[in-house]
Amino acid sequence: MKKHLSTAETIALFQKYVVANYNRYPVSLVRGEGSLIWDAEGKRYIDFFPGWGCNLLGHSPSRIVKAVQEQVAELIHVPNTWYMEAQGLLAKELSERSGFGGQCFFCNSGAEANETAIKLARLHGQGKRYKIITMEGGFHGRTMGAVSATAQPKYHQSFQPMLPGFTFVPFGNLDAVKNAIDAETSAILVEPIQGEGGIRIPPQDYLSGLRKVADQHNLLLMFDEVQAGMGRTGQWFGYQNFGVTPDVMTLAKSLAGGMAMGAVVARAEVGATLKPGMHACTFGGNPVAARAALAYIETIEQEQLLQRAITIGSHFKERFSRLQKKCSLIRDVRILGCMIGIELDREGTTVVQQCLDRHLLVNCTQGNVIRLLPALNLHDKQLEEGCQILEDVLQSLSKQG
C-alpha cells in the first residue's frame, strides 16, 4: 500500500504553502471506498457528506475508476474546436432524461454553469431586459455573477458592488415573484430544493406556479440543479418530483461521479442564442470527465439506485422523525431522497465535531441544520452504524439541555 505523509506533516505543508481560505478539520484523508474513508493514520470514517455532495456513488466507484483509467490512456484533453465522441454521447443522455429535450453546454463547476445561465437570461432579454429574480436562502456559487445571484448577504460582504440585475424574493412565495416582475425582468433562477439554504423543500405547487408566471411574462425559468440533480432525490432531476420542466437547468457536483464537471441543459431555441465566441470553457466537456459521467449514469441505472435513494431517505425520515418526538433539540426533519436536513434549536458545530470524534462525517449549514448527502449505494450496515452515531450524539446533547 502507498505510504502517505502523516496528518501533522500534511498540515505543516498547508500552513506554509496553501492559502488558508477554508476552515479545515485536522484530519488528512488519503483513501476512500464507497461510503468509507480512511485518514493518514489508518482511522476509518463513515461519510454521510461525501465530497460535499459530489461523490453520489461514494468514493472511487469501480465503474468510474475503470472508465477514467481507460480514457486517460487513450486521450486526456482536446479543445472544443474539435468534436468529441464522449461529450456528444453524454449530451444525448442528459437531454433524453431532462423531459424537455435540451441541448448541452459543458463546463467545470456549478458556478460556471450558473454564469452561463445568467448569460442566457441576458440574451433572452435582447439588451432590453436583464433582471433575474432569485430566492432568499438560495446558493448559486462564488464567482461574481453567481454570488451576486445568491440572496445571502454574508456571501456579499467584502466584495461589493455586486453584479447588478438581481431581485431577491422569499423562497416558496409565488406572490412575491409576481410582484417583483417589471419591464426589465428576463428570467427566474431557483433551486427546486434549496441545499446550502438548509434542505428547504417548496410547496408542491410552487414550481408549477413559477412555470405559469414565466410563460405569462415571457421569462426564462431556470432551475439550479447543481446539488439536487443527477439522482439524489430519487428522480434524475429534483424538478421531476414536482411535475414541471424548466427552460434551462444547471448541473455539477455528482454529474461525473466525483470528477470535476458542470453542464447547462437548455431548450434548443434558448441554447441557440449562444453563438460561437460568446462563451466558452477550455476544459468543459473534456473526454475524461465525459466518460466518467457516462459511467455514472450507467451505474445509476444498472444498479437501480434511483429507487435506492428513496429507500435511504425513507429510513432517515422514519428514524429521525421518531427521534424528534423525544429529542427536544430537533426542530424539524426535512428529507427528499438523499437530501437530508435536520434542523436544530442551536448551532450545529458541536454535533459535527462529536460525530467526527466518533468517526462519522456530517455537515452543518445555515448554522443550525445538519445536512446529509449520503451516497446512493450506501450499504445497510453503514447506514445503520452512521445513523446510530448521529442519534447518540443528538440524544446526548439534548439531555445536557
pLDDT (average), residues 117-137: 98
pLDDT (average), residues 148-177: 97
Contact 172, 242 (CB under 8 A): no
Our measurement of the distance from residue 250's CA atom to the centroid of its chain's CA atoms, rounded to an integer in Å, reads 10
- Give which of 138, 140, 101 is closest to 118, Cα–Cα: 140
pLDDT score for 401: 77
**If you average pLDDT over every residue of the chain, what do you get?**
97
Contact 150, 140 (CB under 8 A): yes
Residue 390: pLDDT band by 50, 70, 90 thresholds?
A: very high
pLDDT (average), residues 215-226: 98
Cis preceding-peptide flag for 161 (omega within 30 of 0):
yes
91-109 pLDDT per residue, tens: 999 999 999 999 999 999 9
Residue 2: pLDDT band by 50, 70, 90 thresholds?
A: confident
| 121: pLDDT strictly greater than 90 | yes
250-286 pLDDT per residue, tens: 999 999 999 999 999 999 999 999 999 999 999 999 9
Over pLDDT 70: what percentage of the chain?
Answer: 100
Evaluate if pTM is beyond 0.95: yes
Q: Cell numbers at residue 282, please?
A: 477550455
pLDDT score for 5: 97
pLDDT score for 360: 98
181-220 pLDDT per residue, tens: 999 999 999 999 999 999 999 999 999 999 999 999 999 9
- What are the angstrom distances between the C-alpha of 31 and each of 65, 79, 91, 288? 14, 32, 31, 21
